[in-house]
Structure 1
Amino acid sequence: MSKTSRTKLSVFLAAGIAVVILAAALSVFYGSTKIPFETVLQALRAPDMTDQQQIIIHELRIPRTIGCILVGAAFAVAGAITQGVTRNPLTDSGLLGINAGASFALAVCLAFLPSLSFSGVVLFSFLGAAVAMVLVYGLMSIKHRKLDPVRLVLAGSAVSVFLSSLSQAISIFYNIGYDLTFWTAGGVAGIRAKQLTFAAPVILVGLLLSLLLSRQISLLSLGDDVARGLGLEIDRIRTLCLFVVLLLAGGAVALAGPVAFVGLLVPHVVRFFVGADYRAIIPSSMLAGAFCMLAADLISRTINAPSETPVGLVFAVVGVPFFIWTARKEERSLD
């Protein structure tokens, strides 16, 4: 990494930390329920757990804010890794079947285990994401085929369609369409400290592993021939990357649902500022993803207060035009 690149990265990280702290503070102080500024300060300094408003701060807003940071960072880094491994800028972790696997597990829970706690649903959703990734990997392993990026996306798409069809069939047969749709719209309103105790370690391990693999992902993004010529064990590294994507996207989807466009949009924005080196893209995506999720959640809480707008809808409003613009840009680059 050149001196100029390091300078750009340092500036971006410093700015990213500052805006994430600011957005986190706003997330704690503002929400769909109006709580006086002084009450929030008191809840942070010397909480009185007999005060209903201070209970809201500690049991709802603080876990929700931490959840936003983790979910945003996880989706963004998972998307960056997926784009690097597949060398396709129009992909994210959802194309690997992870979102569909989590949705299928949720449909099973709603239909057959309706009394299951939210923590149990989070655990089942993560297991569903893991099963989907195993299916994708199994399809890739048929006849000992290598983990080719094109086949990887095709296998992920096939598994996604299959599991999504099963989820829809269950939702229709057991009349759980409304509950399933509400979850798939994406949101962090249900995050509590209990759910974070399960999902946070999984996501944090994934973020740490992504930093350790950032150099290898940069080599993979250059193409298999170049990476192999530089001594990289392509299949082993690609498998490790898929495992990291599972930890990140699986944990994030289990907590907040399949929030679309975070993993697609954030890495593109980050590349514009820090370049194409994944040693810079991954840490920058962590901060940018965390900020975007915090900002989107803050908008979703306040734009229609006291009701809340699904955070996935906020991202869709920005993400769909961005996706169309990116697709057209890639099409022009191929002409």
Structure 2
Amino acid sequence: MQLKRTLPVVILGIAPAAIVLLILASILYGAKNITASEIWNSIFAFNADNVDHQIIISSRLPRVVGALLIGAFLAVSGALMQGMTRNYLASPSIMGVSDGSVFAVTICMVFLPNTSPHLYITSSLIGSALGAGIVFGLAWCIPHGLSPVKLAIIGSIIGTFLSGTAHAIATYYQVSQNISFWYNARLHQMDPELIRLSIPFAIVGLTLALIISKSISALSLGEEVAKGLGIRTWLTKALAILAVVLLTGVSVALAGKVAFVGLIIPHIARFCSGSDYRWIIPVSGVLGGIFLALCDIVARFINYPFETPVGVVTALIGVPFFLYLIRTRGGAQRE
């Protein structure tokens, strides 16, 4: 019990140093290795004619910052979904939320080409809400639809439908090459302007997550228990869904669909922090960012010097983890 109290503090305490080291490693290593002195010079004596300086400022720095943010957003989203539904398989990629965002971005690119980055973020948020609404709407209409396995099946079916429809539309209108970025989650194409525009939405989503964290802890014990503690469960769920939509929507707008981060990391955070979501949510955010940034570095060396989509690395870790959860915990909701 004492370890559960001190471990989250230790994780959050060492996180800044770990993040700085990850940023340095991400900038240093890739298809073209860069020296530490060039990093220093690019920050304090930037030279637009220096190729290394251009790579650092316009590519590698936005890439690692984007990976840290996206990992944090998806992990917090997964923690909220798992706590709200008491479903250990809940995550944005499995529940159709990410696929809804990809679907909406595809529609936007087909029918509103050459549009502003604002509209990509807006369409991704709308799609995220659409995916979540369809999946949870169907789950609440089906007997025991919120049980882990049934909810995962519904989410997979709806997600496959939305993703398949998006592919069909993109192929029909011959824009599949242009939108491949959103299907393959290529972090090396990170747009600094999109990162800047996504920050306000992310701040709102993270703030909501922290505000309702205590209520999520109560809700994770069961709806009746939460009501007995005076928690307005409908309001907590509504705010949690809003936070998930915001965080998942900006994540997909930034780099496309990244699977399994929102499934794996909340379980690790819960193992480290116990059952209190006031700790689980910030720890999930920190571990999620570190996890995705590490996966991105690993992805660069799988087929060196060519880039491998980071989703391949997260899937190699996430699929066995997903099967492990089903095998060890069965199909019932978390007690």
State the secondary structure of the residue aligned to 2:93. helix
Does the 8 Å CA contact 1:187/1:259 hold for their aligned counterparts? no
The corresponding residue for 1:276 is: 275
Cα distance between partner residues in 1 of 2:126 and 2:331: 40
What is the correspondence of 1:142-157 to structure 2 with a 5 Å cutoff? 149=146, 153=151
Does the 8 Å CA contact 1:85/1:149 hold for their aligned counterparts? no
Q: Does 2:74 match 1:83? A: no
What is the correspondence of 1:31-180 to structure 2 with a 5 Å cutoff? 31-116=30-115, 120-133=119-132, 135=134, 149=146, 153=151, 159-180=158-179
Matched to 2:260, the amino acid is F
With normalisation by structure 2, the TM-score equals 0.87
- Could you list the per-position Cα deviations for residues 11-45 of structure 1 after superposition, in whole angstroms to 9, with x for gaps in the alignment? 12223333222112211222222223321221123
The corresponding residue for 1:199 is: 198
1:70 positional shift: 0.8
What is the number of equivalent residue pairs in this alignment?
Answer: 329
Matched to 2:285, the amino acid is M
The corresponding residue for 1:250 is: 249
Cα distance between partner residues in 2 of 1:120 and 1:300: 30
1:88 positional shift: 0.6
Cα distance between partner residues in 1 of 2:32 and 2:117: 23
The corresponding residue for 1:26 is: 25
Does the 8 Å CA contact 1:87/1:221 hold for their aligned counterparts? yes
- Could you list the per-position Cα deviations for residues 219-271 of structure 1 after superposition, in whole angstroms to 9, with x for gaps in the alignment? 11000010011011111110110000011111111111110010001111122
Matched to 1:36, the amino acid is T
1:150 positional shift: 5.2
Moved more, 46-55 or 258-267: 46-55
Query: Cα distance 1:91–1:192, how it changes in 2: closer, same or farther (>3 A)?
Result: same
Unaligned runs of 5+ in 2: none
Query: Cα distance 1:149–1:331, how it changes in 2: closer, same or farther (>3 A)?
Result: closer
Does the 8 Å CA contact 1:32/1:301 hold for their aligned counterparts? yes
Does the 8 Å CA contact 1:119/1:194 hold for their aligned counterparts? no
Does the 8 Å CA contact 2:121/2:249 hold for their aligned counterparts? no
Query: Cα distance 1:178–1:50, how it changes in 2: closer, same or farther (>3 A)?
Result: closer
1:92 positional shift: 0.4
Query: Cα distance 1:304–1:15, how it changes in 2: closer, same or farther (>3 A)?
Result: same
The corresponding residue for 1:303 is: 302
1:9 positional shift: 1.7
1:93 positional shift: 1.8
- Could you list the per-position Cα deviations for residues 118-155 of structure 1 after superposition, in whole angstroms to 9, with x for gaps in the alignment? 6654443333223434555776899xx9xx95599487
State the secondary structure of the residue aligned to 1:93. coil
Cα distance between partner residues in 2 of 1:32 and 1:207: 34
Cα distance between partner residues in 2 of 1:140 and 1:243: 18
Does the 8 Å CA contact 2:78/2:90 hold for their aligned counterparts? yes
With normalisation by structure 1, the TM-score equals 0.87
Moved more, 62-71 or 119-128: 119-128
Query: Cα distance 1:190–1:124, how it changes in 2: closer, same or farther (>3 A)?
Result: farther
- Could you list the per-position Cα deviations for residues 198-220 of structure 1 after superposition, in whole angstroms to 9, with x for gaps in the alignment? 11221122112211111111111
The corresponding residue for 1:7 is: 6
Identity %: 36
State the secondary structure of the residue aligned to 2:186. coil
Does the 8 Å CA contact 2:258/2:311 hold for their aligned counterparts? yes
Unaligned runs of 5+ in 1: none
Cα distance between partner residues in 2 of 1:201 and 1:208: 11
Query: Cα distance 1:123–1:190, how it changes in 2: closer, same or farther (>3 A)?
Result: farther
RMSD in angstroms over aligned alpha carbons? Answer: 2.9
1:110 positional shift: 4.0
Cα distance between partner residues in 1 of 2:169 and 2:101: 14
Matched to 1:92, the amino acid is S
1:106 positional shift: 2.7
- Could you list the per-position Cα deviations for residues 56-81 of structure 1 after superposition, in whole angstroms to 9, with x for gaps in the alignment? 21111222121111100000010011
Does the 8 Å CA contact 2:93/2:258 hold for their aligned counterparts? no
Moved more, 13-22 or 107-116: 107-116
Cα distance between partner residues in 2 of 1:236 and 1:150: 21
Query: Cα distance 1:296–1:160, how it changes in 2: closer, same or farther (>3 A)?
Result: same
Cα distance between partner residues in 2 of 1:139 and 1:92: 16
